[in-house]
Amino acid sequence: MSFVNVTIHLQLTTRSGFLMREKVILVCSDCLGRNYTTTKNKQVQKTRLEVVKFCPRCNKHTLHKESK
Range of the domain at 40: 21-68
For residue 6, is it within any domain? Answer: no
For residue 45, is it within any domain? Answer: yes
> pLDDT at residue 3 above 70?
no
Domain count within the chain: 1
- Residue 8: the pLDDT is 45
For the stretch 18-43, pLDDT in tens is: 668 899 999 999 999 999 999 999 88
> pLDDT at residue 62 above 80?
yes
Paired sense of beta strands 60-66 and 21-28, if any: antiparallel
For residue 34, is it within any domain? Answer: yes
What residues have CB less than 8 Å from 37, skipping those under 6 apart?
23, 24, 25, 26
User: Average pLDDT for residues 50-58, to the nearest whole number?
Assistant: 95
pLDDT band of residue 68 (cuts 50, 70, 90) is confident
pTM of the model: 0.67
